[in-house]
Structure 1
Amino acid sequence: MSAVSKDPLKRSLLQLECHFTWNLLEQDVDLDNLEEKLDDQTEFFTSNNVLNYNLLSYICHLKNSNVEALRNLQKAEEAAKKNNPDEIDQKSLVTWGNYAWIYYHMERYEEAQTYVSKVENTCKKLSSSAEWKTHLPEIYAEQGWALLKFGRKYFERAKNCFENALKNEPNNPEFNAGYAIATYRLENLSPSAGEDGSSTLKSLKRAVELNPTDTSLMALLALQFQALGRANEGEKYIEEAMQKTPHLPYLLRYAAKFYRKKGEVGKAVKILKKSLEVTPESAFLHHQIGQCYKVMMFQQEKRYLSREEVQNLIQLSIFHFKTATEKNSKFFPAFIDLANMYAKERRYEKAEEAFQKAFQINTLFDDDKQFFYYNYGRFQLCHMKSESEAIKYYLKALKIKEESIGREKSRDSLMKLLGQRIQRGSGNATDFGTLGLVHKLNGEKQEAIKCYEKAIALCPDSEEYLNELCELKLSISN
């Protein structure tokens, strides 16, 4: 195909609604881990296989395996014929769009054009508008599911997609399920952001009513009840779900999380091991098991049981946290847990290595960085015995303005440490200046002024402290 005809083809491709035009970025996920998850889901959730195979085709393309990408699109077409024989056109639009893009990248331009035309003609047939390009609710929903699978950066967009799908079909079970999951995940990212959790609970209830056989949704509803302090109501859903699908790994992992949070850690481990037998490559499951052993370790320490028993639990948690990081190279919480466990075992070089790997992950959000700074500061204080390094990293967390658990814990730890230094008489101008900055960042201007005045008394020539003091006094007078 000549360059003249190639350009209009590219313009047409950019108009398609499919994974290649949804801005799903390779750097935001661990492709191998996501591929493993999707392979499992094609086995356990056959009704969603069209969506899973379409996304698998895109992943294969990102991994430079276009031939394998085409095989997955063939499987998507077969799944559409089997599961949705009356809606093959609607269910195949994204598949055909992916076909067009993959053939384009393979420089098989005539085949690419064939699929572009197929999409255009089908959209004209389905659309009541004059434009051939149409936003069908099925396409909004498929985009929503793909965005959910690409991680937290995409959750807000996913929620918007499901909202758009629901405008046309408010009682659609699949769209309600997607919307409920997106709202649940968004709330769990920032539980202190002002939501009381009732809207998420309402969405999950609605989704469960419309999807009575979806036990994973039932488990999420149970976890939401638990988060709202209504664990007894939630447990009813967990028990019912486990009766319906006792071997479904996606239910078992949520059930285990429920029982771990309830304090029944031994029961949670049994459930997770059962799930691991079915999906042995799951990084999530290994991380959850590691967390259970970590909780058990702290319980044993409080009971003053033998060092040998505690050491065994440390080893078990390290094994599962390490396995989780090996199976998912972007699993930030697992790296932090692994680092802390190495520190607990006094393997400080290993702890440092895990901390650095955690911070080098290129998908970190501000609250992730704050959580890193808090944990690394604590490591410097408790294990490296460096108060100055601890202060440095706690401050880094505090200077990022987003409210999060990491920021809150860093602020509390920093104020406690500075207070101790001042109380024992080892505090200097820097400590008072730092405490002034902490109060300033907290919006506590009067307390900040007092601290800066004490810092200036100890170091009268400091321009930094004088400037901070003047700025604070001016802000109050204005």
Structure 2
Amino acid sequence: MPTAELTTKIPRTRFSPTTKTIMTATTLKVHLLQLSCHFTWDLIDGEIDEIEERLQNQLTYLVSERKYMVYNLLAYIKHLQSDYTESIANLNEAERNCLSTSNGTNCELLVIYGNYAWVHYYLNQLEESQLYIDKANNVYKELKQTNDPKDIPEIYGEQAWSLLNFNKKHYEKAKDCFEKALKEAPQDPEWNSGYATVVYRLEGFQNFKTPGLKWESLNLLKRAIELNRKDSVMKALLGLRLQDLKRTQEGLINIEEALQQTPNLPYLLRYVAIFYRRAGMIDKALCVLKTAVSLIPNSGFHHYQIGLCYRSKMSEKKTLAKSDFKNIKTYSREIQELLQKTIFHFKKGLECKKTHMYAYIDLANIYIEANEYKKAEETFQTVLSFTNLTDNEKQQIHFHYGNFEQFKKKSEKEAIRHYKEALLIPGTFYNKQRCEQEVKKLAERKITRDPTNASGFSLLGFVYKIQQKSADAIKCYEQALTLDPHNEEYLSNLSELKLAI
């Protein structure tokens, strides 16, 4: 159990807080909840061990004047792990780093003081906790002379950065916080880069084929680069977005320039590899990824990307095998080797990053190619059990699971169940239209096989209902009811549709 002696003396302050009568734990909690820090930002739904490892890698490889933010978040992670000795140690480092780079306003210390206060509170060191509450309040008093203390870009920026690092469900809130930080400090390179990053990631959840979709991140990334020409990661993200817009050559220029700047930065290499792989430059992508893995061996993302590269090479071999029967045995052996390499790296990626949804889908599908249906089923079931999936992710899982049931297990009933689950998810995502097509084909097949089968008309009515073609849906449900007059499901859907009209 740590003691107050672990905290550092503040070498530079404009105030000398005086400790009044020590508050009770209950009263202290009220004051603590008013502080803006990691303990009051609702940071939830994250894989703590993965986040900790990522932050440790950032301390090794990322260069930033605001490195104190990494130590600050690490202190909170250590609290979640009930390791208060390390929590205090990370706060000491955060404070030391902050004081060495501070612009003299003490604003950056506010979150650190808040975290200190909370950690000492959990250690039942109430006097020390109150001391840091007083220190934070004194900084606020100083700021009141020139600013509204509620509009402090350093706090909004650090909150946004922490949310961005914690979990994808926090991205919208992170975006909002970055916007507030930039409203007060529009030229800040760190907040501009963070804002461009979160918008880029949020765009990744959208349907790329949506007509008229505007890529807001494009100009944001360009602005971030203008403010910090050394930010190679922003250049790589810009390269990828240009690639999305079919401006591949222009994107490649940014990628090559970024790679020349920081050839051994793992966070850059992941994006460079994605660009190369999507451009069909698989060997170059693998070369880059192997460098990245040598730097961060336990990176789930890098192993997953390696798996994708081997899967691409496997597809190439299959295509060649179809036109070169003389060497079919050689191709078959090479295909099997690439198949096993793909499985290995997908599994390795999931060992390192247990919540990587796309890796689960791809692993399940590669198990299907390997005719390991039981493992595929277990993989789909595992990822479906996750509680933090986005609607887009749920839809993708059900679509691929439905394909597995329909085309491999030959179970129309289960396939329809998964397709319908996908279509009932609100929002228009990439796989929605594909699900509609599959359900419609299954419905028409049922009707063709047996025109007296009410379920075929009901299923077709369901598709029309999803497509908001009410008149067509009503006709289908009426036909289904004619064939099965006492079916409550058909009657309920028909009544709902007519009431809506």
Q: TM-score range by the shorter chain?
A: over 0.9
Deviation for aligned residue 1:383: 2.0
Task: Sort the Cα spacing of 1:326 and 1:303 in 2 relative to 1 into closer, same or farther, 3 A.
Answer: same
CA deviation string 1:311-330 (max 9, x = no partner): 22221111111112111222
Deviation for aligned residue 1:451: 2.4
Partner of residue 204, structure 1: 221
RMSD: 2.2
Deviation for aligned residue 1:210: 0.5
User: C-alpha distance in 1, partners of 2:191/2:309?
Assistant: 34
Deviation for aligned residue 1:447: 2.4
Task: Sort the Cα spacing of 1:16 and 1:255 in 2 relative to 1 into closer, same or farther, 3 A.
Answer: same
2:139 is equivalent to residue 126 of structure 1: no
Partner of residue 320, structure 1: 345
Partner of residue 151, structure 2: 135
Equivalent residues of 2:163, 2:173 under 8 A apart? yes
Equivalent residues of 2:192, 2:224 under 8 A apart? yes
Equivalent residue for 1:6, pick from 8, 25, 29 = 25
Partner of residue 383, structure 1: 408
- Output the amino acid matched with 1:458: L
- Output the amino acid matched with 2:349: A
User: C-alpha distance in 2, partners of 1:427/1:181?
Assistant: 55
For 1:189, what is the secondary structure of its paired residue? coil
For 1:223, what is the secondary structure of its paired residue? helix
Bigger shift: residues 192-201 or 278-287: 192-201
User: C-alpha distance in 2, partners of 1:337/1:220?
Assistant: 23
Equivalent residue for 2:394, pick from 359, 369, 385 = 369
Equivalent residues of 2:78, 2:87 under 8 A apart? yes
- Structure 1 length as normaliser, TM-score? 0.93
Partner of residue 463, structure 2: 438
Equivalent residues of 1:325, 1:335 under 8 A apart? yes
Equivalent residue for 2:231, pick from 214, 224, 227 = 214
User: C-alpha distance in 1, partners of 2:427/2:452?
Assistant: 29
Equivalent residue for 1:77, pick from 89, 92, 95 = 95
Deviation for aligned residue 1:475: 4.4
Task: Sort the Cα spacing of 1:99 and 1:384 in 2 relative to 1 into closer, same or farther, 3 A.
Answer: same
Deviation for aligned residue 1:63: 1.0
Bigger shift: residues 260-269 or 276-285: 260-269
Partner of residue 395, structure 1: 420
Equivalent residue for 2:445, pick from 391, 415, 420 = 420
CA deviation string 1:417-461 (max 9, x = no partner): 333343455882112211111111111123223322432343344
Partner of residue 57, structure 1: 75
Partner of residue 37, structure 2: 18
Equivalent residues of 2:440, 2:459 under 8 A apart? no
User: C-alpha distance in 2, partners of 1:130/1:297?
Assistant: 60
Task: Sort the Cα spacing of 1:135 and 1:340 in 2 relative to 1 into closer, same or farther, 3 A.
Answer: same
CA deviation string 1:75-113 (max 9, x = no partner): 11222233x144472222211211110110011111111
- Sequence identity percentage: 43
Deviation for aligned residue 1:294: 1.9
Q: Whose helix fraction is larger, Structure 1's or Structure 2's?
A: 1
Equivalent residues of 2:22, 2:126 under 8 A apart? no
For 1:443, what is the secondary structure of its paired residue? coil
User: C-alpha distance in 1, partners of 2:335/2:444?
Assistant: 33
Equivalent residues of 1:330, 1:363 under 8 A apart? no
- Output the amino acid matched with 2:192: N
- Output the amino acid matched with 1:377: G
For 2:354, what is the secondary structure of its paired residue? coil
Deviation for aligned residue 1:384: 1.4
Equivalent residues of 2:207, 2:430 under 8 A apart? no
For 1:363, what is the secondary structure of its paired residue? coil
Task: Sort the Cα spacing of 1:126 and 1:386 in 2 relative to 1 into closer, same or farther, 3 A.
Answer: same
Equivalent residues of 2:402, 2:419 under 8 A apart? yes
Task: Sort the Cα spacing of 1:130 and 1:243 in 2 relative to 1 into closer, same or farther, 3 A.
Answer: closer
Which aligned pairs between 1:221-236 and structure 2 lie closer than 5 A? 221-236=238-253
User: C-alpha distance in 1, partners of 2:23/2:230?
Assistant: 53
Structure 2 residue runs of 5 or longer lacking an equivalent are 1-19, 322-327
Partner of residue 164, structure 2: 148
2:192 is equivalent to residue 176 of structure 1: yes
Equivalent residues of 2:71, 2:91 under 8 A apart? yes
User: C-alpha distance in 1, partners of 2:216/2:413?
Assistant: 44
- Output the amino acid matched with 2:457: F
Equivalent residues of 2:156, 2:177 under 8 A apart? yes
Bigger shift: residues 64-73 or 294-303: 294-303
Equivalent residues of 1:123, 1:134 under 8 A apart? no
- Output the amino acid matched with 1:190: Q
Equivalent residue for 2:280, pick from 254, 263, 287 = 263
